[in-house]
Amino acid sequence: MITQCTVALMVASLMGGQVASAPPAGVPSGASSEVGSAAGTGSLVVPAGTPVPLTLVTAIQSKTTKVGDTVRAVVAFPVTVGAQVAIPAGTYVEGMVNAVSAHGPSVQIHFTRMLFANGYSVPLDAMNTQAAMEWPDVPQRVGDLAWGGAPPVGGMQVDQADPTNPTLPPLPQEGPSKAAVIGGVMGGMAAIVVVSVLTMRRRGSGNYVLFDGGWQFQMTLTTPLTLDTARLPAAS
């Protein structure tokens, strides 16, 4: 009797061990470890040459900013790869000044790091492609301003005589003489030249802003940028 009870307990113990070690229904043996090791290994590559619009955060000044100084900017518009947002707007980029000049003015920045809003950081290799401040177009001819377009054929405007309206004699001149007007204009031009020279001298010896915070420009990836897709949803 004791022997039969002992055998029954041993059989029950063996069957319980087999049930506990069996994998879930529909999942082959050893598959769970393979799925865990594959999770989080996906990557998203932003190809080289991709333009990224930026807004400058660190002001660049004529005297204070030197080669090697740190510069920070923020992504102004999201960059996508296919249907995936790779670089969300608001992502910070950091780099160093390679060259800066007050004549122009112009600046060259090498960006070396990208920092997402969730703290995800990746190395970056990119350069700004807009190195100089862009000034608005200025008309090349006075006629463009006077006529709102190209001047008439021949470069000058010709008044045609109207036979129905005879030419009237000139009215008597009132106000200051022509010589006084010319003298006033020449004096005003001289004053403008003096002010410009003094301003240039002050700028040459002082420190002033070349590119202020908020300047819109663009950088281009020099090499492909590889991102971890497991971190991108939180970053975007």
Only one residue has tokens 């001149």, namely: 173
- What are the angstrom distances between the C-alpha of 207 and each of 70, 99, 111, 131? 18, 17, 25, 20
Q: Which pLDDT does position 24 carry in this prediction?
A: 47
Average pLDDT value for the chain: 72
Q: Which residues of the chain have pLDDT under 50?
A: 1, 17-40, 135-160, 236
Residue 15's pLDDT is what? 55
pTM of the model: 0.55
Percent of the chain with pLDDT over 70: 52
- According to the model, what pLDDT value does residue 168 have? 58
**Pairwise CA distance, residues 195 & 202, whole Å:** 11
Dihedral sign computed on CA atoms, order 184, 190, 193, 199: negative
Q: pLDDT value at position 205?
A: 60
What pLDDT sits at residue 124? 96
d(CA 46, CA 226): 6
Predicted pLDDT at 163: 53
